Structure 1
Amino acid sequence: MATEFSGTVVGPGDAGYDELRSVFNGMIDRKPERILRCRNAADVAAAITTARADGRPISVYGGGHGVTGSAVIDGGVCVDLREINHVEVDAGNRTVTVGGGATWGAVDAATQEHGLAVTGGRVSSTGVGGLSLGSGSGWLERTYGFTCDSLVAAEVVTAAGEIVTASDDSHPDLFWALRGGGGNFGVVTEFTFALHPVGPIVLGGMLLYPGFMAKEVLRNWRDFMLDAPREVGGGVALITAPPEEFVPEPARGQPACGVIVLYVGDPEEGQRVLEPLTSFGPPAANLVGPMPYVAVQQLLDPPNPKGMHNYWSGDFLESFPDEAIETWVDNVQPPTSPLTQMIVVAGGGAIGDLTDDDTAFGNRGAPFNLHYLSMWPPDPSQDEVNIAKTRTIAAAMKPWTTGGVYLNFIGDEGLIRVEQAYGPEKYARLRKIKRVWDPDNVFRHNQNIPPAD
């Protein structure tokens, strides 16, 4: 190991071990046998080879933001990519090369220096790897598609410890599977994305309404988004109004409805386009205006601190009729925890430019995507009631769902839920590709796709 691995090995009792094994979801308290802090793809290959030789299970730590906490594993080897975090922009060719341990905040900062961007996470601490491999939902998706739609190439360390490049021209089946198939097929140590013109100043922000207006706000937003131009992105969150100065004092700590909007284009034109949203209500607080794109990308950072207890689920909707809106609001309000955020985002636009078969992940025709994001302080006595509430809300919305799901939005819901995310034919194809690249299911500490028999 000493001659092959140039990184740092951290184990129980070592300085920094507890911090390194912590993840976004405070419910996760796993203790790897060792954490291998890799500096490059060769280190990752050495880590995988050694762990397999020792008979140890493997997890991969990119951003550690996934709700399942799959970045860390009890009694196994955590392959830590966080030091592989380079971000290199080629403005002339409109591409960015990103290390597998980078976060979206770093990518946004680097690309925005050139007025460019790629669809990224809605919280800046989200890891590039997990989001991209899970397809990648973000505020830019209606304009430029999922994150994986802009993926040009990936450097992959395989279960056999080999380093390969996957692209349309090199290992195309692997490249297809990486775009939405999760971390099932190898460890991606470097992503190359196509970049698109965005900002640096865009029209964006949030409209905040009292909770009792949620149903009419959602109806207005739904009707607008069904015909909205692809330059418009955004969603609606049923939340608790924070104790901030921009919130009228009587509304603080009360159920609220937040509408997040982004217009990718000329801000003056955006003001005209977004007028049906910004003039509705009126809102209790209107925080929409010209702002840096990076500020839009950080809007959800404050209400998503690391270390809270989290339980998530999700569903794509076939439609969002008035009855579904009423059911949604009636089940969500009042929230069990003031930290909980129940979110609906709009599909359409560039998401549908590719077919469901063009990438591993599909569900491209769904007009809306629900994210049940329950969050509460790190108090185990609150776990049961918050988890039960989330499941009740999800069950109530089932009549309007497609059966598909965006995997990055869900927790440990079993193999059947993973299969439903892809459908039987695509799932079978993914299992065959898995058999080629990871026949022993080394990369199984995830939303797992087992190899075909």
Structure 2
Amino acid sequence: MSRTLGERLGSKVVVPQDELYEEKRKVWNGAINRYPNAIVLCQSEADVVAAVQYANEQAMSIAIKGGGHHVAGTGVCDDGLMIDLSEMRKVKVDEKRKVAIVQGGATLGDVDKETQKYGLATPTGTVSETGIAGLALGGGLGYLRGKYGLTCDNLVGARVVTANGIVRHVSADEHADLFWAIRGGGGNFGVVTSFEFQLHEVGPEVLGIDVMYDYKDAKRIFTKAQQFLNDAPDEVSFNLTAMELPPAPFLPEFLHHKKVVAVSGMYAGDPKEGEEIVQPIREWAVPIVDQTGVMSYVELQSKLDVLVENNIPVYGTSLYFSELNEETVDVLMEKLDHAPVPTVLSQLWALHGQMNRVPESETPFSVRDASFVLLLDAMAMPGMDEDVIEQWIHSIYTDLLPYSHRNASYLNGIGTIESATKATYAANYDRLVGIKKKYDPKNLFRHNHNVNPND
């Protein structure tokens, strides 16, 4: 098998006998342990085409690794072919059109670093090492969501290698059905070798929100957050993170093992104007630490990197909520108070503004009317029982499901659960199935939140 592929791609093919194989099959989540038949280290679109054509001929399933940061480890598969785009990271800015042309293996940090040279940005996420491809294809929530929408909302074109190995440039005017599908439909429809993102004037300095409160005030903070969100201007986006701080050297000793609620975010406008607008956020309770202030956009975008270590086993889940009412908060806090490990990140991201004005049918990303999304991750440090952690994460999902917004989840933050996939795509699912049948009838691209062509 690998010889034929090797003839086409030479040393770019890594097989289980090769020294590089163990390193290259790994993804960000250390809980994922899968063994593909071969890995292709793509350096060009032509490499991707050759790999996909081979997989199609052999009826092999395909896993696509961009940044490899999905909690479900969708970038790697057992058996099958793993297409690794991590060497394709170029970012080019068309200043005249205010568009960034971004290769499929680029990280958010790669994008921000280049676009900020021009005082421009496109909405991305909040951890700079995340791959832009998976983020954009699954939605893309970040600090610009209120002002400029999701990452997928700012996608204006792309180059896609579909299951038959054909390259298609997609946009609103070319292969419009495929263009619609990749703006939230995940990696179901092909390998995106490059993206074109609309850019906006942001930075180079912005007002970053960074306040830390005592966990004992969590209930009050959640209530205040909902009240603030009801009238929040588009320029403000914020996330609430409940966690126990690690005994890390970058933290003062009095914060070691301290349970806190951290509020992080930004004001996407004139920092001076923003100070007064974000002031209430700094007064939801008595802060332990308040580092809110003007900083570079690139610094803000990488500030949370320290919380997301590489190769640690992580178990995660996600649900949307129409509002943070008392019942929902009580259930969540009861679960957090009985967490089996201290290494839990429980994030509630406030949702409003431009991202919620996009009609539900305009992109596959259909959840446009929730006010918060929960992203909860538990990390299994050495010596911890992973089965217990996984069961606890599942119990959070099942216990909070009755309080959730139409049983929907942010698919970039949850395992590949079929019921969650269908509930989240909702009325858009059938349309996605039709497009899947057209471009990937054999379901080669199935290591994802799968849209089954046979549904």
Are residue 426 (structure 1) and residue 428 (structure 2) matched? yes
Distance, in Å, in 1 between the alignment partners of 2:251 and 2:224 is 22
Are residue 364 (structure 1) and residue 368 (structure 2) matched? yes
Per-residue deviation, 1:52: 2.6
User: Quick check: 1:247–1:284 contact (8 Å CA) kept in 2?
Assistant: no
Q: Which amino acid aligns with 2:442?
A: D
Other-structure match for 2:166: 162
User: Quick check: 1:30–1:73 contact (8 Å CA) kept in 2?
Assistant: yes
User: Quick check: 2:209–2:238 contact (8 Å CA) kept in 1?
Assistant: no
Are residue 450 (structure 1) and residue 452 (structure 2) matched? yes
Distance, in Å, in 2 between the alignment partners of 1:205 and 1:301 is 16
Bigger drift between 241-250 and 344-353 goes to 241-250
In the alignment of these two chains, the number of paired residues is 450
Distance, in Å, in 1 between the alignment partners of 2:139 and 2:32 is 24
Change (3 A) 1:435 1:334: same
Bigger drift between 322-331 and 14-23 goes to 322-331
Per-residue deviation, 1:257: 0.8
Are residue 233 (structure 1) and residue 237 (structure 2) matched? yes
- 1:266-281 to 2 correspondences below 5 Å: 266-281=270-285
Are residue 116 (structure 1) and residue 120 (structure 2) matched? yes
Other-structure match for 2:441: 439
User: Quick check: 2:100–2:196 contact (8 Å CA) kept in 1?
Assistant: yes
Q: Render the CA deviation track for 1:240-286: whole Å, top value 9, x for unaligned.
A: 12335775634420221111121111111111001101133221011
Q: What is the alpha-carbon root mean square deviation over aligned residues?
A: 1.7
Other-structure match for 1:396: 399
- 1:49-448 to 2 correspondences below 5 Å: 49-244=53-248, 249-333=253-337, 335-379=339-383, 381-402=384-405, 403-413=407-417, 415-423=418-426, 425-448=427-450
Per-residue deviation, 1:226: 1.9
Q: Render the CA deviation track for 1:165-219: whole Å, top value 9, x for unaligned.
A: 1110001011111111001011100000000111111111421112111111221
Bigger drift between 347-356 and 47-56 goes to 47-56
TM-score normalized with structure 2 length: 0.95
Per-residue deviation, 1:333: 2.5
Distance, in Å, in 2 between the alignment partners of 1:3 and 1:21 is 21
Change (3 A) 1:396 1:266: same
The alignment partner of 2:197 has SS state of strand
Unaligned residue ranges in structure 2 (runs of 5+): none
Per-residue deviation, 1:418: 0.9
User: Quick check: 1:142–1:230 contact (8 Å CA) kept in 2?
Assistant: yes
The alignment partner of 2:208 has SS state of strand
What fraction of aligned residue pairs are identical, expressed as a percent? 38
Q: Which amino acid aligns with 1:387?
A: E
Distance, in Å, in 2 between the alignment partners of 1:399 and 1:427 is 22
Distance, in Å, in 1 between the alignment partners of 2:380 and 2:210 is 23
Unaligned residue ranges in structure 1 (runs of 5+): none
Change (3 A) 1:114 1:7: farther
Bigger drift between 182-191 and 34-43 goes to 34-43
Change (3 A) 1:223 1:360: same
Bigger drift between 10-19 and 124-133 goes to 10-19
